[in-house]
Amino acid sequence: MAEPRWQMCRDCGTRLWGTPRNEAVVVVQLGTLDQPHAFKPIAHLWTRSKAPWMVIPDADVQFLTQPEDQMELVELWRSKSNNIAGRK
């Protein structure tokens, strides 16, 4: 498994995107996108430390911490992507 790599803004140092531990996964910081509201999460990570006021719908996939196998996130993404593509 590869070492984590993060791409930072050279002007302000903000983390833009990266590959945490698995080359199959790329993490994009939502706040860096022009239209972040256009995306829905496939899962909620680190929910054990979420703010008490944060309400996550029961039907949403949740992980108390980081999934040990990041391919689980890839499979969730593929599954949700296929469901969306099938609706068109």
Give pLDDT tens digits for 18-75: 876 666 677 788 888 888 888 888 899 999 999 999 999 999 999 999 888 878 888 9
User: What's the predicted TM-score (pTM) here?
Assistant: 0.66
Q: What is the pLDDT of residue 22?
A: 63
Tokens 């996964």 -> residue: 25
Residue 27 has phi, psi (to 5 degrees) of: -100, 125
> Is 88's pLDDT higher than 50?
no
Q: Where exactly are the structural domains of the chain? A: 1-35, 40-88
Residue 21 has phi, psi (to 5 degrees) of: -135, -15
